[in-house]
């Protein structure tokens, strides 16, 4: 049996659930996902700014009725995506935003670019899950 990285598991699940496009600004906080996307049959659109990636994901969700997917880095990357999240929330557009996160052992220790996403995004999110799954919902 071949071991898969967390990034490969995520990309495999995106494929299983019919994802065809991902909009992203590449970053070191989710390199394993980017590596897995390289060999996947999911079109990866690299954007210049996180807001653009979020707007593109929101537009795709609005046009297709299927969740648009954006991937950004932590901290400033996530906050740059916030206008697209707000629009998706206001228009009830299906959208998923994946944010690269600090290592678990660094959480809540003011690690580089760490944010409290519940405080930052508040009511604009339907769900906010951390790396330990739904039981860690914030």
- Structural domains in the chain, sorted by start: 6-125 (3.40.50.970)
pLDDT tens-digit profile of 112-134?
555 666 666 666 666 655 555 54
Asked if residues 44 and 71 have their Cβ atoms less than 8 Å apart, the reply is no
pLDDT tens-digit profile of 7-42?
899 999 999 999 999 999 998 778 889 999 998 999
Asked if residues 86 and 115 have their Cβ atoms less than 8 Å apart, the reply is no
Residue 68 dihedral angles phi and psi, to the nearest 5°:
-80, 145
CA distances from 69 to 18, 28, 57, 122 (A): 11, 18, 5, 20
């Amino acid at each position: 049996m071949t071991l898969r990285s967390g990034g490969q598991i995520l990309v495999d699940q995106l494929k299983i659930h019919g994802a065809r496009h991902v909009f992203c600004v590449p970053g070191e906080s989710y390199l394993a996902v980017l590596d897995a996307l390289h060999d996947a049959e999911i079109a990866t659109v690299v954007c210049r700014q996180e807001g653009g990636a979020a707007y593109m994901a929101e537009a795709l969700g609005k046009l297709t009725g299927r969740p648009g997917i954006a991937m950004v880095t932590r901290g400033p990357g996530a906050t740059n995506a916030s206008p697209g999240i707000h629009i998706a929330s206001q228009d009830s557009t299906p959208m998923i935003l994946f944010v690269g996160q600090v290592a678990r052992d660094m959480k809540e220790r003011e690690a580089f670019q760490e944010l409290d996403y519940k405080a930052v995004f508040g009511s604009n999110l339907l769900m906010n899950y951390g790396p330990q799954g739904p039981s860690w919902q914030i």
